[in-house]
Structure formats: C-alpha cells, structure tokens
Amino acid sequence: MSAAARGRRESGGGKTLNVIIADYTDLADKGLRPEQLLAIGKPQRDALEHKVATEVAAELLKRLPRTPEESDSYRSRPRRQRR
C-alpha cells in the first residue's frame, strides 16, 4: 500500500490538519497499462512532480498560522494517538 493510500485510510478519507499527502503516483490517465507506465518519460514525470509540489506548497502556505493566536491554537490542539 502506498504512503498516500495509508494517509487517506488513516484520515478516514478526509482532510487532516496535520497531514498533507503528496501523491506523486496520481496520474491524469488512470487507464494506463503497466508497459505504458514503464514508458513514461522524464518530461511527464517532471510535469507531475512540479504539479504536485506546487499543490503541496500552496496547501502548506494556506495552513500556516498567520497570527500568534493561530499559532497558540495550533499548538494546543489535541493530538491523536497512533494505534
């Protein structure tokens, strides 16, 4: 199971406040056969990596606290215990 799939499973499929999933395996074309996946070139990989990295950076910036109060609130949130 991929890290992205584990993250989605752990979050119940929803968004979490503490986790941003960077899924570099989420291709636009879901119907590629294994031999087509193996033939993906560097330009396609670079484009996907750039797209995902841009999305992750935007989400990270959106979640960062903007005020001291937001920062305090973030630190005082209860943490879920790992099983």
Supply the pLDDT for residue 72. Answer: 87
- Higher pLDDT among residues 6 and 38, named by residue: 38
At residue 83, the 3 state secondary structure works out as: coil
Domain extents in the chain: 3-67
> Confidence class of residue 11 from pLDDT cuts 50, 70 and 90?
low
**Sign for the pseudo-dihedral over CA of 14, 3, 24, 17:** positive
Supply the pLDDT for residue 77. Answer: 72
Rounded (5°) CA angle 49-61-26: 30
As a whole number, mean pLDDT of residues 19-29 equals: 84
- Higher pLDDT among residues 55 and 16, named by residue: 55
Terminal CA-CA length for the chain: 18
Is pLDDT above 80 for 53? yes
Structure tokens at 69: 């109060």
Q: How far apart are CA 60 and CA 23, in angstroms?
A: 15
